Amino acid sequence: MQVIVHGGAGTTVEEPVPRQATLDEAADAGASENDPVDAVEAAIRVLEADTRFNAGTGGAVQSDGVIRTDAGVMTSDRDAGAAASMPGVEAAISVARAVMEETPHVLLNGVHAVDFADDVGVDVACDLWSEDTRERWDDLDDHPEGSPLDHLEWIQDKFGSTDPEGRDQKDHDTVGAVAFDGEKLAAATSTGGRWLALAGRVGDVPQIGSGFYAAPAGAASATGAGEDIAKATLTRRAVRHLESGLDAQAAADRAIEEFGELTGSSAGVIVLGSDGTVGEAFNSEQMQTARARTE
């Protein structure tokens, strides 16, 4: 089993050494599995449980003071599932997998996704706050009230920003994994969103071809500025380059180059080809990754 994981593309992170240790643990957890879907789920569950990453516990806070999680998963057979906008759900990737395997749909969202998660045995009463996110939310000098338009006005200079002390606000710490067992591939991505987004905002992560994509030629997981990733369909773009004959590293490089030209924004992508080649590329300050392989 080949596995590569990422912990987000963005500014230089705090605590890079323990973050890398968790990424290494996640890659090893995935590589110990026998099936690519099991592999990406196992890897991402390690990262969703670590508050240093913007997925599961420790996710970003939306304008109404709620943390909501999103995730998506897809196989090279083009089976896919995603779940979005779920308060109280740490294991978003497990909900996405259940959507793929247990329903005729590819995406559930909001309260209905949470109810479905509860029915399939995923914990929906998790405290997703970390000490850090609680402190940063409490440090804001005001919190919005009123209608969505009132919230929209409040977030105009706050969405995706750093705080007044310049600390990273978990904008780009989305996590992802791709896996290959020699025959079948899988890609998965999970996130807690972007800092101070409008309540109910859903970004690229649960959108097929944006935050995640898999096909017979390969699989990819993306991270970065979600709205721009969705507009550029970054992971579909990377896999399309695999389909044109590029190896995984060349496909990742080309996709990020095109993404930057199209959007002027920052992102990262990990790619695993059906020929066994692995690639990663980013145009932000940093993207931490880890790889593992078992025979």
Q: Which residues are catalytic?
A: 174
Q: Determine the Cα–Cα distance for residues 193 and 199; give it in Å rounded to an integer.
A: 10
Asked whether residue 11 is marked as a ligand-binding residue, the answer is: no
Residue 192 counted as an annotated binding residue? no
- Cβ neighbours for 99, distance < 8 A, ≥ 6 positions apart: 81, 82, 83, 105, 106, 107, 108, 113, 116
Q: Say if residue 88 carries a ligand binding annotation.
A: no
On whether 226 is known to bind a ligand per the annotation, the reply is: yes
Find out whether 224 is annotated in a ligand binding site: yes
| Residue 66 assigned ligand-binding role | no
26 token code pair: 């996640």
Per the annotation, does 269 bind a ligand? Answer: no
One-letter-per-residue 3-state SS of the chain: CEEEEEEEEECCCCCHHHHHHHHHHHHHHHHCCCCHHHHHHHHHHHHHCCCCCCCCCCCCCCCCCCCEEEEEEEECCCCEEEEEEEECCCCHHHHHHHHHHHCCCCEEEHHHHHHHHHHCCCCCCCCCCCHHHHHHHHHCCCCCCCCHHHHHHHHCCCCCCCCCCCCCCCCCCCEEEEEECCCCEEEEEEECCCCCCCCCCCCCCCCECCCEEEECCEEEEEEECHHHHHHHCHHHHHHHHHHCCCCHHHHHHHHHHHHHHHHCCCEEEEEEECCCCEEEEECCCEEEEEEEECC
The answer to whether the annotation marks 203 as part of a ligand binding site is yes
Binding annotation = 201-204, 223-226
Binding-site residues from annotation for substrate: 201-204, 223-226
